[in-house]
Amino acid sequence: MRVRPLVALKKTVCGSALLLMAAGCSGKTQAPAAPPPREVEVLTLAPSEVRDTGEYLGSLLSRQSVTVLPQVNGYVRRILVKPGQKVEAGATLLEVDSREETAALDSAQAQHSSAEVSRDLARRTYARTEALYKEGLASAQEMEQGRAQLEAAEAAARAAAAQVAQRQVQLQFHAVRAPFPGTVGDVLVRLGDFVSATTPLTSIAQADVLEVSVSLPSERARALKPDTALEILDSQGNVVLTSTLFFVAPQADPRTQLVEVKAAFQNTVGLRPSELVRARVVYSRHEALQIPALAVVRLSGQPFAMVVQEKDGKTVVERRPIALGMLGNMAYVVENGLKQGDRVAVSSLQALRDGMPVKLKTAEAPATQVTAPGASAAGSR
């Protein structure tokens, strides 16, 4: 007996339908359970300090630095210091051959001794002549001659004493001394070298107190105040020294149109003169709302924040457009769209949808500082 294919297909379909109806009658299917609210970290907005800063390249300068030159001509006989050595004021750095000057001093001292002997003899002679003149045994002419000889002897003694003092001062110039306490630079001469008054011997720099010189854009320099803070940063951006500006150039550099500013500080971290450092100028401080940069969602270029609200007895998120100000290290300044006390989600942002219920977890507010656009473009002088 042949079975037609169409009849067989109808029987199969009818059988499947009967099986499904039987299964439906045996029990009811349950709808899947709703997923639990997603846990998100929430930050409550509150005003905090915002610093308007600019980072630049600064150059360190020693407040006391000098190139040491000799004051006499001669050969170097002794070198008493080494490069990098710290010396006190008046310490002898090196000595120039002084044998000729020593001999000249000895000669001047001998002449001074001879002049003093002649002066003493003239005094005694004048005293005897004066006594004889009172008794009428010496003439007025002899009296005048005795006085003149005494005055000449006294003048010769003073001249000899001045010559001795001059030679002593000149002899001191053969010992080259440190004008102030500091660190010795490279010693540029060797034993036996002939030096003159124009020969550089070494240098002395004081690193206890340093100045940092920074060049700022003219438009930013106009906003400076006498108490403007300047910070020295290390390679990781941490503040190592802080001071205030004491000098703002009255005119801009005609070539670069930059304005030089300076600050002085106690060098407690081992910085060196002529070193280049990162310097940050704090132009102003004010209070403002801030939102972490990672809490900002952008759609077609428009920034949004996921604000947490209570609605119909549920905690849900609302996507709200906001206006942002300048970007700091970790957060934006909020100019519009949010107010103090608003709660914004700072985690799981990609999974959040407008009106979606959430479970709250408190997050910490980040600190920030605002850097003006293009602030780090200027360098040191």
Residue 378's SS3 state is: coil
Q: What is the pTM of this model?
A: 0.58
Asked if 53 and 370 touch (Cβ cutoff 8 Å), the reply is: yes
Whole-number Å distance between alpha carbons of 214 and 44: 39
Question: What are the C-alpha distances in Å from 164 to residues 107, 111, 114, 115?
Answer: 9, 9, 13, 12
C-alpha 190, offset from chain centre? 36
Residue 147's SS3 state is: helix
Asked if 244 and 281 touch (Cβ cutoff 8 Å), the reply is: no
Per-residue pLDDT 10s for the chain (381 aa) are 444 544 444 444 445 554 445 445 445 555 566 677 888 888 899 998 888 888 999 999 988 888 999 999 999 999 999 998 989 999 999 999 988 888 989 999 999 999 999 999 999 998 999 888 888 888 888 889 989 999 999 999 999 999 999 999 889 999 999 998 888 989 999 999 999 989 999 999 888 889 999 999 998 898 888 789 999 999 888 999 999 999 999 999 999 999 999 999 988 888 888 899 999 999 988 888 889 988 899 988 899 999 998 888 888 889 999 999 888 778 888 999 999 999 999 888 888 888 888 888 766 665 555 555 444 444 444
Tokens of 347: 């985690």
Question: What are the C-alpha distances in Å from 157 to residues 101, 115, 125, 160, 364?
Answer: 21, 5, 16, 5, 88
Residue 376's SS3 state is: helix
Q: Is the dihedral of CA 221, 224, 226, 228 positive or negative?
A: negative
Q: How many CB atoms lie within 10 A of CB 290?
A: 27
| DSSP per residue, 180-210 | SSEEE------TT-EE-TT---EEEEEEEEE
Whole-number Å distance between alpha carbons of 168 and 21: 130
- Residues, the chain: 381
Q: Residue 31: its pLDDT value, please?
A: 53
Q: Residue 274: its pLDDT value, please?
A: 85
Q: Is the dihedral of CA 282, 284, 287, 291 positive or negative?
A: negative
Tokens of 237: 């951006």
Q: 14: exposed, middle or buried (C-beta count within 10 Å: 0-12, 13-18, 19+)?
A: exposed
Whole-number Å distance between alpha carbons of 291 and 278: 27
Q: 235-249 burial, b if ≥16 CB within 10 A, otherwise e?
A: eeeeeebebebeebb
Name 42's bridge partners.
345, 362
Name the nearest CA neighbour of 42 among 303, 298, 353, 316: 316
* Alpha-carbon torsion angle 105, 106, 109, 110, nearest 10: -140
∠ CA 339-345-348, rounded to 5° = 160
Q: 88-127 burial, b if ≥16 CB within 10 A, otherwise e?
A: eeeeebbebbbeebeebbeebbebbeebbebbeebeeebe
